Structure 1
Amino acid sequence: MSEVRSADGTRIGYETQGAGPAVILIDGAMCHRGAGPMRAVAPGLAPTRTVVLYDRRGRGASSDTLPYAVDREIEDIAALISAVGAPAALLGMSSGGALAALAAARLAAEVTDLIVYEVPFMPEPARPAALAYTAELGSALGAGDRDGAVTAFLTRVGVPGPAVQHMKSSPSWEGMTAIAPTLGYDDAVMGDSSIPAELASITARTLSLAGGASPDFLQWGARGIAELVPGAELDVLDGQGHDVDPARLAERVNVFLSR
């Protein structure tokens, strides 16, 4: 494992696989190098790319510096790009895709390509529920209630109550509560769940993806990004959901990056 210091001194732990132009993989909520989909995606990209797996601040081998701001996470990505050799491509999943898109908008020429999978931006009628989650999450984190914060997140993403109770007695629960404060980071990245107007300034080649078996709102977000970002492509992976098959995703990303 390697590490790089971000602009505010935060230590960002990362590792690389393969060789070639860099692609940085950006996880969503509750995920990091040791827990999440990106490690399974990496081998499919490594034959032609330097694949960068990293722990977002407050997770895994990375440290944290308060107060949090989305700009600090973008500085983390900039530090990684500098460490592995600029420019780089970004691949973000779920709320990590929102962070990747904001980074592409603000880092401009440092980002050659942007690929996002199912960023959960939502149409206006669905946003009150997102704001209610923000309030519930903020209340739990403000009270230091990490169990409550994780429970709010799992409920928000559709995990049934009995399953949440079962998870609380599993070995994985301690790992989730350990990074519970970072749920607030992902929530900040998502804003009010509308698609940020600044994405229209992205100059990187962009591919916005969704799964054909996913709920309509996830496909809505993918379409909206493709419509807003100049020259962006939209593709729907048949039969896939939010828990996308890593080999299918890597295959589609390779096709896009190779053009």
Structure 2
Amino acid sequence: MSTASGRTVETEVRSSDGTSIAFEQSGRGPALILVSSALADRSDTRKLAGILAGHFTVINYDRRGRGASSDGAAYAVEREVEDIAALIGHAGGSASVFGSSSGAVLALRAAAAGLDVDRLALYEPPFSVTQDDFGPPEGFAGHIGTLLAEDRRSEAVKAFMVQAQNMPAFMVGSMRLMPGVWRTLTGMAHTLPYDLAVMGDTQRGRPLEPKPWSAVKAPVLVLTGSRSPEGFGRAAQALTEVLPDARHRTLKGLNHGAVVMAPRKIAPEIIEFLGAPPAP
């Protein structure tokens, strides 16, 4: 599948429940769908998409409730899987998928649900597999729900970053001094429960159970950064052990923000793994 002349085209598909899923399509070659992380839309993966478009037909989409995509009446992880299914249908019936952070876990769930995924590349799925790994405290989803119900969006974003992502409070404070950045983040705060649902019970410091992940039949590459907390490496290793066909690679000098901050260092790994021919 390819776009005419390889240019970027903005369009949308309808998911099973009627939700409009907006995306940018660019490049030529085998289809590749990019799945963003929490508090992110397709703008976070736009630079990566631009690099990968030299090798693939890249579908860079806004997850439901974000960017130009609409939202359903009631959320369920299954609806987000159906969104990816609609994009795969648009791509011709099969596609490879790249996901980062909680978006990586969503991509895994889509493949485990039986979608026709050719290959799966993941960056730092945030499973917590030992008591030493970070993860949100007990009852955190309910706490976020309460903050959002009271329209305390900034507090919800801060709580997620500090308590779920283990980000130092001073860094969050610095981000709040950047009005445009903070406005974008708080504008997506209502989707935080979506990512918490995607993660389910996988962040409680327990060994990763084989199910549902063992149902993933596609070859999987799990990438982590050497500057990220060690828990990401443990999670990646645990995941490769429960998947039928997976390998783990650590990229020197990268951290959890590398998809946005260092896409040129991640792209070659994706290109090599997906077996794309060199760009002309």
Fold equivalence (TM over 0.5) = yes
- Structure 1 gap segments, 5+ residues each: none
Q: Offset at 1:134?
A: 2.6
Letter in 2 for 1:223: Q
Say if 1:24 and 1:88, in contact at 8 Å, map to a contact too: yes
Q: Give 1:229-248 correspondences, 5 Å limit.
A: 229-244=243-258, 245-248=262-265
Q: Offset at 1:58?
A: 0.3
Say if 2:40 and 2:188, in contact at 8 Å, map to a contact too: no
**Please, which moves more after superposition, 93-102 or 146-155?**
146-155
Counterpart pick for 1:22 among 31, 52, 76 = 31
Greater helix fraction, Structure 1 or Structure 2: 1
- Structure 2 gap segments, 5+ residues each: 1-9
Letter in 1 for 2:106: L
Partner of 2:54: 47
Aligned counterparts of 2:174 and 2:134: Cα–Cα separation in 1? 29
**Please, which moves more after superposition, 132-141 or 146-155?**
132-141
Say if 1:130 and 1:192, in contact at 8 Å, map to a contact too: no
Letter in 2 for 1:75: E
Letter in 2 for 1:256: F
Q: Give 1:1-259 correspondences, 5 Å limit.
A: 1-34=10-43, 36=44, 38-108=45-115, 110-125=116-131, 126=133, 129-156=136-163, 157-169=165-177, 170-194=179-203, 195=208, 197-244=211-258, 245-258=262-275
Number of equivalent positions: 256
Letter in 2 for 1:239: G
What TM-score, normalized by structure 2, do the two folds share? Answer: 0.86
Aligned counterparts of 1:163 and 1:121: Cα–Cα separation in 2? 23
Aligned counterparts of 1:130 and 1:193: Cα–Cα separation in 2? 12
* Structure 2 residue matching 1:15: 3-state secondary structure: strand
Aligned counterparts of 2:140 and 2:85: Cα–Cα separation in 1? 30
* Structure 2 residue matching 1:9: 3-state secondary structure: coil
Aligned counterparts of 1:120 and 1:190: Cα–Cα separation in 2? 8
1:204-233 deviation per Cα after TM superposition (whole angstroms, max 9, x unaligned):
111111112211111111111111110211
* Structure 1 residue matching 2:114: 3-state secondary structure: helix
Q: Offset at 1:128?
A: 6.8
Q: How big is the alpha-carbon RMSD for the aligned residues of Structure 1 and Structure 2? A: 1.8
